[in-house]
Structure formats: structure tokens, C-alpha cells
Amino acid sequence: MCSGRVDLEFILRAFSKGMDGVFIGGCNLNECNYITHGNYDALNMTLLCKRIMEHFGLNPERLRIEFMSAGDGIKLAEVINKFTGKIKDLGPLGKGEDIDEDELRSKLEMVSKLIPYIKIVKGEKLATRLKSREEHDAFFTREEIDELFRDVVSYYIDPKKCQACMICLKRCPSKAISGRKRQIHVINQDKCIKCGTCLEACPPHFGAVRKISGAPVPPPIPEEERTITRTRKKK
């Protein structure tokens, strides 16, 4: 499997399943057999994940990526032995960092839900090809990741402006919007991937969808208050 298939979701899932460390092996950079150079994608995804781990108190050394050829058997053995030794020194995931098990599970679940949003926000950087190892450590900064999670955006449909046109509901890729004709639409924040499609789809003359950054989303209105009653104009 090409290392370009390595996704942030795969790494976080491994840790969620109790893995104490994750190792990623890929072909040497600039030696891609498929011309896709997916190993650069894997590298950037790993660097991003390391910073995210650091942000939540996990030791980033629990995640490692190495590039080598099929003939580097001795190197692979040395790298794996060194990595497993490091993981043993760090101890079980979370316990080695003095993080409560429930707290760790909650953090991993929260980050996993934000993966689509993270990819959208950091998409341009994730597509960059780093030319030297010196660029790796500075590629994603602590301040950048702190800001990423501090200013997470959310989308909210203003019940006073929603006209139940169903355009946002039909366009939503994650089916996070509920509603029907003559019923105010509501966004399920647990399902929302924060792509902004609803904001783009909402007709400008309605302007019902709001983008909220770094602040709580107002609670949805009760089901019994979502019906829109329209009166016909007298001729």
C-alpha cells in the first residue's frame, strides 16, 4: 500500500484502539513508483499529527515515519528496534504522560470528529513538498495548532431567517442538516464536518447560515417551534 494512503484518521484510530506507538514506513522521497509521490502526503500528515499529539499532552515520539527502499532490510530492522525500545521507555499510552484514560479517550474522539475540518483548514500546507529535514520541525508550529483548536468554526442556521428552501439540506455532504418544507432547518453539530457548504449554498437574500468562530453555538429551537406558517397576500 502506498504511504500516501496514510490518513490522520488511521493514526488516531490506532491510538484510540490502545496502541502505544505508530510506525509508518514509506519509499524514499523522490523515488515514487506511481509518480504520485504520496510519501510527501504521509510525511505532512505525520508532522501535523505529531503537533496535534503534543497539543493534547501526548509524546509525539510515539509516532514515527521513515523512508527507505526495499533493499534496506538492515536499516528497517535497526529503525524498528530503536522505535520499539523508545515506546517501551515511554510506557503505556496516556499513563506515560500522566493523562487520565477517560480524558485521553475524550480528546482522541474530539480530534477524530474534527479531521474533515482540519484537512480543509490545512489543505494547502498538507499538499506542500518539503525539500529538507530542516523544514520538518518548523512546518507546523505549536502556536499554529493552538490557534487551530481555539478558533474552530461552527455553522448555525438562524431560525428567524431560515425559509426552509431545503437547498442547504440537499447540499450538505454529511447529512448533518435536518428539516423539510415549511420547517426551520437545524444543523446537527455532532455530524457537521465544518466544510462550509451550507454557508455557500444559502441564498444571499436569506442569509440564514452563520459562521461562528471560537464561540458556542446557540441551542437548536424545539421541534414544536420549527414550523413556518406562511400567509398569502391579499390581492
Determine the 3-state secondary structure of 119 from DSSP. helix
Binning pLDDT at 50, 70 and 90, where does residue 231 land?
A: low
Q: Can you count the helices (H) and strands (E) in the chain?
A: 10, 6
In this structure, are 107 and 83 located in the same domain? yes
**104, 19 in Cβ contact below 8 A?**
no
pLDDT tens digits for 122-142?
999 999 998 888 888 889 999
Q: Where is 175: in which H helix or E strand?
A: none
**Structural domain that includes position 200:** 153-225
Going from the C-alpha of 174 to that of each of 74, 115, 152, 198, the distances in angstroms are 46, 13, 18, 11
- DSSP 8-state secondary structure symbol assigned to residue 84: H
**80, 23 in Cβ contact below 8 A?**
yes
Q: Which of 150, 172, 201 is the last residue of a domain?
A: 150
Going from the C-alpha of 138 to that of each of 30, 48, 114, 115, 184, the distances in angstroms are 21, 11, 23, 21, 46
Check which CATH number belongs to the domain holding 188 and give it.
3.30.70.20
Domain count, the chain: 2
In this structure, are 106 and 173 located in the same domain? no
Q: How many CA atoms lie within 13 A of 72 on its CB side?
A: 13
Q: Which of 150, 182, 213 is the last residue of a domain?
A: 150
pLDDT tens digits for 43-93?
999 999 999 999 999 999 999 999 998 889 999 999 999 999 999 999 999
In this structure, are 119 and 207 located in the same domain? no
In this structure, are 103 and 164 located in the same domain? no
Binning pLDDT at 50, 70 and 90, where does residue 235 land?
A: low
In this structure, are 20 and 117 located in the same domain? yes
Strand partners, 178: 186
Q: Which of 89, 118, 150 is the last residue of a domain?
A: 150
In this structure, are 9 and 41 located in the same domain? yes
> Does 4 have pLDDT greater than 90?
no
CA distance 108 to 15: 8
> Does 169 have pLDDT greater than 60?
yes
Going from the C-alpha of 91 to that of each of 58, 59, 94, the distances in angstroms are 12, 11, 8
In this structure, are 174 and 139 located in the same domain? no
232 found inside a domain? no
In this structure, are 58 and 128 located in the same domain? yes
Grid cell 515511554 — which residue?
A: 90
In this structure, are 103 and 215 located in the same domain? no
In this structure, are 193 and 127 located in the same domain? no
pTM above 0.85, yes or no: no
Determine the 3-state secondary structure of 62 from DSSP. helix
Determine the 3-state secondary structure of 102 from DSSP. helix
Residue 72 grid cell: 534496506
231 found inside a domain? no
% of the chain surpassing 70 pLDDT: 97
